[in-house]
Each structure stands twice: as structure tokens, then as C-alpha cells.
A and B are shown apart, each in its own frame.
Chain A
Amino acid sequence: MLLITNPLNESEYSFPILECIHILAFALSIGTIAIVDFRLLNIGMRHQTPAALLKDTSTWTLVGLVIMIFSGLLLFSSDPDLYYLNWAFLIKITCLLLAIVFNYTIHRKVAQSQEPSSNGKLVASVSLVLWGSVIFGGIFIAFINQGL
């Protein structure tokens, strides 16, 4: 039998430390996306346009997303079978892919458009629901019966 050891599983501290990095990174990425969303919903930062806020936050969003994805991949690598068979994980990844595509296509386009439209509120709501689902899915991974 071929045994491949993941260096990540050698230390009991590597997983929790990665989780902390993962949490801080998604607070950075989702938090900055949400600032644009709340502006589109006319709730906060009304002195600035959505386009200006998007421009100011997009680098921080991208940095957060990259760190979040890489730390997430490392967490996944600690026990791929466990995650692959977990329905909360599958929902989370589906929502994550949808959220990223949505963020860099429709969300970006609406936030950049100069004239306000009712679409802005819809797009912001979809964005918040998608990112919220990613977080809910992530938490439920640990609370449901595992496939193995």
C-alpha cells in the first residue's frame, strides 16, 4: 500500500493556524466586497459612488481572495476524502465558484456603471447571499455526519 504523508498533518498546530489565516482572509475579501454591496443597497458610504468604492477596495479584495483560496486548498488537502463526501462542503464550493464568477462579471459591471439602477440592489443582494452561503456551508462541514 502506498502511503503518502501530507506534511500538514505532521503538526497538530498547522490546521488551526491555517484556519485562522483562512478566517482573516475571508474577512478581508468578503468584508471589502460587502462595503460595495451595502453602498449599492444605499445603506452605507453614501458619500462615495459604488464605482469609487470598488476601485478603492478591489486590490484588498483580490489579496484576501488569493490567501483565502490557498489556505482553503491546504485545509482541504489535510483530508480530501472527508471533504469530498461532505454535502455542506459541496454546497460551499458551488456557492464559492458562483460567487467569484458573479463578483468579477455582473457585480463588477453594475458597480462600475455610473447611473444608479434598481439592478444595483438586486445584484448586491445576490452577492451577499452567495458569500453568506459560502460561510454557512463552511461552518456546517464540521456539524454534519461525515461520509466515511
Chain B
Amino acid sequence: MLNIISVFTQWVQGTDLFTALRTSWWVYPIVMSTHLLGIALFGGLILMTNLRLLGLVMTKYSVTDVVAQLRWPKRVGFVIVATCGILMLGSKAEEYSYNIFVWIKLSLLALVFIHGWVFRRSVYYNTAAIDRAPEIPGRVKLAATLSLLLWAGIACAGRGIGYIDPPLSKIHAGIMSPAQPE
């Protein structure tokens, strides 16, 4: 099993795109900066959606109004952040396959999709009923709190990735950090 993973990750990072990304000293940090900028923009949208569901912001406007208006910007934001994430992941695929925080982050992302699937009908596409309710139902607040915790966990796990040293005895190809400019 591990052998399959290492063959796959070596192939991924050996492709022209990911090799170019890895060997340039400035492309990788630009992708990372775009990833972080996307997190700031996209994170603000997730925050506002969930804080509205918790009844903490924009209470003058209906839940429907806020959630519906932020839905598409959030999707665009996620695509930008995820694209940059995949670019970074692929460029050092083999090394990252040994990184515990990569696996924690991917697991939390899987949980985010499960969360969306579980609460889709009762919360995020049920906003008209939430607006009619005398007060915000507990299930809605639970969904919002879980979403905030999951996304915060994903951001923190992402930061953790950079703190794990590559296992030099295990990885193969010449994938060490590119030379820095003089």
C-alpha cells in the first residue's frame, strides 16, 4: 500500500508542472500567499454566514438574504484556495505523504464535506424556515459552530504542515528546497 502511495506521489511531483513549481524559488511562495489571501477573503465569508446563523451579526437582515448572497462568493473562494492548496501539495507530494498534518487537514476537509451533506437540507437550504422560527433552532447553531471549528482546525493544520521535517531517509528524488537567490 505504502509503495503504491510513494510511486504515485513521485510521479505527481515529477510532472513538468509540479517540477517547475518546486524548482523556482518564487513561484511556491506566490502560490502560498494566494492561498493565504484566499483564506482571508473566503474565511471572512464563512465567518459571516455562520455568525449570522448564530444570530451574532447582520440580524437586521434575514438569514435567507445573508446566506444566499454569500453562497456563490464562498464557492469561488473555495476553488481559489483549493487550487493553490493542490499546487503546493503536488509539488512536494512524496514528502507531504509522510506529513501527519497533511493527513489531519485532509481528514478535516472530508469532515467539512460530511458536515455540508448532513446540514444541507435542515440548515443551509432551509433558511426560510429558520427566518420564520421565533428563535434560531439549536440544530442551526450546532451546524454553525461545527463549521467554524472545522475551518479553524483546517487553517491550523495547514500551518502545522510546515513544521514537519521531510523524512530524508525515506524520500527519493532530488526534491529538496530550491536554491535561494543570492
A: residues with CB less than 8 A from B are 16, 19-20, 23-24, 26-28, 30-35, 38, 43-48, 52, 56-57, 60, 131-132, 135-136, 138-140, 142-145
A26 to chain B: which residues have CB within 8 Å?
A: 40
A56 to chain B: which residues have CB within 8 Å?
A: 57-58, 60
CA distance A71 to B170 in the complex (A): 36
Instruction: Please determine whether B70 and A135 come into contact, CB atoms closer than 8 angstroms.
Output: no
B: residues with CB less than 8 A from A are 25-26, 28-30, 32-33, 36-37, 39-45, 47-48, 51, 57-58, 60-61, 65, 69-70, 73, 152, 155-156, 159-160, 163, 180-182
Instruction: Please determine whether A136 and B33 come into contact, CB atoms closer than 8 angstroms.
Output: yes
A135 to chain B: which residues have CB within 8 Å?
A: 33, 36-37, 40
Name the residue on A nearest B156 (C-beta).
A20
B180 to chain A: which residues have CB within 8 Å?
A: 143-145
Name the residue on B nearest A39 (C-beta).
B69
CA distance A32 to B26 in the complex (A): 29
B43 to chain A: which residues have CB within 8 Å?
A: 24, 27-28, 31
Instruction: Please determine whether B36 and A31 come into contact, CB atoms closer than 8 angstroms.
Output: no
Name the residue on B nearest A61 (C-beta).
B44
Instruction: Please determine whether A32 and B70 come into contact, CB atoms closer than 8 angstroms.
Output: no
Instruction: Please determine whether A139 and B33 come into contact, CB atoms closer than 8 angstroms.
Output: yes
